[in-house]
């Protein structure tokens, strides 16, 4: 058992390759028992361990230290047996039969006829990567991932099987569905299947309805907690706070997230533009991590139940405060203002940017879930999206923080050509694309797709653009990914991961956007154009890239024409 290679995954994380799964588990256990300086999170996968750090210097020191660590032995095999009932009616069952050379009935027999082992978690809370006793059902992922895989879907990819705990994007082949409750915060151990557990799949009987608390329950828990407390919903909460008159396209409660829980399959979540969220809190005199309202493209309308102090940052919107007793006024953005009892604040549709943040003095109150009040749309953890009629409780202002002075907007200014520049560092899997792939990524603008969301910015080709092409064949085993990763599916169209991204992925990551530019990425509206600039990870200064294939062809044609003259 040994470390075979280390790769930087952005400026503050390293991806460690190991000789086998036992070495992966041993290193993960070693880092859990004795964390390295600056270590924030550890995520074990099939043949790698992703380690996140709080600084570039800590990541560089770890990269030099880890190859010489004594790993010891892997944890003892102490998992329990979990039996999962499956309805084999998946959309890809026939495709899996063709890929394996089996009949659909034989695929089902192979899936139920072997014992599966939970090797590691990831992707989403409750999602466990299961390894079988043989490779009879080894199949590639889909060429293009689905934007929505239903909760409870039973799937195959590579040598693994898994069950999706909730609706989410995914590229695995779907062979059936289960009613197993994979993740529940009401259980002492939220995950039904934990690493080293054994899993046996059995065909479900149509009349079978298993009860909650058994190995498989009657439903998949796919509903986030309410956005307001039970008292507020019942109308018995204290007469304070803010009432949502209209939530617009999407309004969420967010703070700075719940980092450090990747091993549980829980993404960091939190505000997609943390710089704007921190600014909103700073302006109203809150702690930097207090909860705020994240609103998509303006159109939010809220009313004050009692006097409040607010500030709006992020995407550029117009603000209107009105009441039956007073004429309308228009507070400035990026500055604190009063919203008195009975007054209504209306945000106009976004004029620039995508997400704005409403901070309220005292912070948005509510229960902590795994240490955060943030809503995680990928994992389904935290409060649900806000809707009209919700009442948001506001906490009491504490400490000596005072209301701040107006500040410049955190929204970046666009260059003259209207294309947002995002700096990135190469790797950890740039070798799947080679120098020409890096050149293609950085030599052309990309369009932001309408399918983008808090999970990631999906990119499409601009006029005359070229998709990325792999120079390696085969499948990449699922491994940890970071916020800012540029993951590339077989379509060659990158996906830039944002706050709610899955903690693991099975497509190669050609590069990672630097943390300093992620707030700008959060403000990319559909239809906008973006350019990726390759930089040195230590200086963040642009570095030259080899010319793309098209550039080489143009140079040769130009030289040929000059020779003819």
Please give the DSSP secondary-structure letter assigned to residue 432: G
CB 132 within 8 A of CB 107: no
Confidence band for 561, pLDDT divided at 50, 70 and 90: very low
> Residue 56 pLDDT > 70, yes or no?
yes
Instruction: Name every residue whose Cβ is closer than 8 Å to that of residue 561 and which is 6 or more positions away in sequence.
Output: none
DSSP H/E element including 457: strand 456-461
Q: What pLDDT score was predicted for residue 206?
A: 55
Mean pLDDT on 30-41: 93
Tens of pLDDT along 401-451? 788 899 999 998 888 889 999 999 999 999 999 999 999 999 999 999 999
What share of the chain in percent tops pLDDT 70?
Answer: 88
Which domains, from first to last, does the chain contain?
3-68 (3.30.1360.40), 81-203 (2.40.100.10), 241-393 (no CATH), 420-550 (2.40.100.10)
> Residue 296 pLDDT > 60, yes or no?
yes
> Of the given ranges (273-282, 302-311, 542-551), which has the lowest mean pLDDT?
542-551
Tens of pLDDT along 162-191? 999 888 888 999 999 999 999 888 887 788
Average per-residue pLDDT for the chain: 88
CB 167 within 8 A of CB 148: yes
Instruction: Name every residue whose Cβ is closer than 8 Å to that of residue 222 and which is 6 or more positions away in sequence.
Output: 151, 166, 167, 380
**Cβ neighbours of 556 (radius 10 Å):** 10
> Residue 227 pLDDT > 90, yes or no?
no
Mean pLDDT on 320-331: 92
Bond from prior residue into 428 cis (ω within 30 degrees of 0): yes
SS3 content of the chain, % helix, strand, coil (to 5): 15, 30, 50
SS (H, E, C) 109-160: HHHHCCCEEEEEEECEEEEEEEECCCCCCCECCCCCCEEEECCCEEEEEECE
How close are the terminal C-alpha atoms of the chain, in Å? 64
Tens of pLDDT along 102-154? 999 999 999 999 999 888 887 778 889 898 999 999 999 998 889 899 999 99
Tens of pLDDT along 144-164? 889 899 999 999 998 899 999
Distance of CA 43 to the CA centre of its chain: 14
Query: Which is more confident, 507 or 75?
Result: 507
> Residue 87 pLDDT > 90, yes or no?
yes
Q: What pLDDT score was predicted for residue 235?
A: 39
> Residue 229 pLDDT > 80, yes or no?
no
Q: What pLDDT score was predicted for residue 116?
A: 95
């Amino acid at each position: 058992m040994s470390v075979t290679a280390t790769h930087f995954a952005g400026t503050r994380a390293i991806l460690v390759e190991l000789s086998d799964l036992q070495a992966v588990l041993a290193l993960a256990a070693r880092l859990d028992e004795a964390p390295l300086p600056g270590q924030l999170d550890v995520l074990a996968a099939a043949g790698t361990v992703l380690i996140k750090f709080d600084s570039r210097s800590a990541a560089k020191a770890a990269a030099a230290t880890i190859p010489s660590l004594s790993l010891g032995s892997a944890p003892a095999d102490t998992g329990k047996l979990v039996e999962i009932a499956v309805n084999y009616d998946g959309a890809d069952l026939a495709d899996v039969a063709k890929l394996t050379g089996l009949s659909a009935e034989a695929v089902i027999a192979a899936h139920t006829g072997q014992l599966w082992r939970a090797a590691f978690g990831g992707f989403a809370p409750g999602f466990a990567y299961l390894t079988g006793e043989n490779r009879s059902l080894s199949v590639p992922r889909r060429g293009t991932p689905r934007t929505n895989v239903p909760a409870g879907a039973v799937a195959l990819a590579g040598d693994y099987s898994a069950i999706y705990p909730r609706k989410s994007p995914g590229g695995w082949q779907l062979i059936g569905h289960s009613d197993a409750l994979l993740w529940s915060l009401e259980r002492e151990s939220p995950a039904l299947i934990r690493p080293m557990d054994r899993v046996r799949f059995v065909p479900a009987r149509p009349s079978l309805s298993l009860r909650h608390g058994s190995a498989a329950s009657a439903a998949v828990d796919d509903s986030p907690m309410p956005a307001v407390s039970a008292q507020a919903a019942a109308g018995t909460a204290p007469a304070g706070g803010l009432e949502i008159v209209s939530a617009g396209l999407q309004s969420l409660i967010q703070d700075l997230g719940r980092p450090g829980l990747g091993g549980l399959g829980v993404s960091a979540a939190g505000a997609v533009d943390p710089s704007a969220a921190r600014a909103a809190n700073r302006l109203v005199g809150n702690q930097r991590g207090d909860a705020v309202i994240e609103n998509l493209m303006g159109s939010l309308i809220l009313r004050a139940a009692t006097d409040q102090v607010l500030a709006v940052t992020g995407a550029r919107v117009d603000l209107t405060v009105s009441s039956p007793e007073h004429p309308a006024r228009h507070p400035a953005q990026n500055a604190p203002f009063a919203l008195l009892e009975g007054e209504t604040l209306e945000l106009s549709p976004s004029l620039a940017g995508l997400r704005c943040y409403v901070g309220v003095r005292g912070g948005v109150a509510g229960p902590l879930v795994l240490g955060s009040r943030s809503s995680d749309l990928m994992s389904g953890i935290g409060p649900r999206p806000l809707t009209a009629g919700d009442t948001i409780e506001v906490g009491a202002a504490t400490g000596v923080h005072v209301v701040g002075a107006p500040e410049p907007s955190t929204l970046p200014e666009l260059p003259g050509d209207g294309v947002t520049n995002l700096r990135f560092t190469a790797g950890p899997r740039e070798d799947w694309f080679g120098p020409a792939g890096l050149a293609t990524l950085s030599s052309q603008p990309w369009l932001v797709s309408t399918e983008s969301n808090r999970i990631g910015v999906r990119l499409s080709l601009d006029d005359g653009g070229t998709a990325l092409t792999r120079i390696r064949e085969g499948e990449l085993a699922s491994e940890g990914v970071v916020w800012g990763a540029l993951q590339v599916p077989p379509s060659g169209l990158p996906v830039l991961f944002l706050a709610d991204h899955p903690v693991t992925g099975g497509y190669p990551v050609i590069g990672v956007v630097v943390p300093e530019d992620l707030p700008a990425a959060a403000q990319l509206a559909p239809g906008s154009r973006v350019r990726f600039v390759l930089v040195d990870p230590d200086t963040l200064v642009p570095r030259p890239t080899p010319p793309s294939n098209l550039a080489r062809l143009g140079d040769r044609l130009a030289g040929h024409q000059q020779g003819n003259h």
